[in-house]
Amino acid sequence: MCGRYALTISPEELNEILGIMDLEDFPARYNIAPTQPILVVVSEEARNKGSNLPERRAVLVRWGFTPGWVKDPKQFPLLINARAETAIGKASFRAAMRHRRVLVPASGFYEWHRPSKESGEKPQAYWIKPRRGDVVAFAGLMETWSSADGSEVDTGAILTTAANAAIAPIHNRMPVVIKPEDFSRWLDCKTQEPRDVADLMKSVEEDFFEAIPVSDRVNKVTNMSADLHDRVTVEKPPPKIKPDHGQLSFF
């Protein structure tokens, strides 16, 4: 799964990489957690008359997907992730997969290796970042939930897939990464149906990410400083395990 991540690059750098229109200034965020506002990139048809070129814009959504048909979000589970293998078949995500695919820019994400209780070992947090480049784009979904009084809340989730061999020793799931050459295809919900972008929803190559052991300070959402990325010494690294290629649940 993906339950924490960071976005620390400047708006100018993000605009250059993702081609976002009218991106306003925002602070570096080193510990983004569920229910907080997150930046996502959406595509909309060009406003210039006679042009069919897509435009991209950044919007803030609540990290925690709420389908439009939910009556009371307080009685509904917090969906921060959606399984790429099964999202199109789930009522919660089906409409968003067809009509509201987004990109979630990140500088990297956090994951925890959790040993068995019998081992007596403590969980170990890892900062997982791309080896090349300062930003990565996760595949995401967006939905606008409307209350009975007419107020609206934009919500989102990050798609995950089976971890590759490099990440599997830490956790059996990882975010789906969309490469720059595939940004337009992923965001194009007008001509690209879910089956047309199914090939993008897979684990990234094994050497794409670097996993750095970090302190358990990241466990607290109130800790938001850059030193969360500082490397710590791990006495016993996680054992090598096979990636999870099953399709068990959707969150």
Q: Which residues pair with 109 in a beta bridge?
A: 5, 128
Residue with tokens 């990140």: 106
- Respond yes or no: is residue 2 known to be catalytic: yes
**Active-site residue (options: 2, 85, 143, 189):** 2
**Active-site residue (options: 16, 45, 85, 111):** 111
Task: Determine the distance from the C-alpha atom of residue 93 to the mean position of all C-alpha atoms in its chain, rounded to a whole number.
Answer: 15
Cα distance between residue 216 and residue 11, in whole Å: 29
By annotation, the residues acting in catalysis are 2, 111
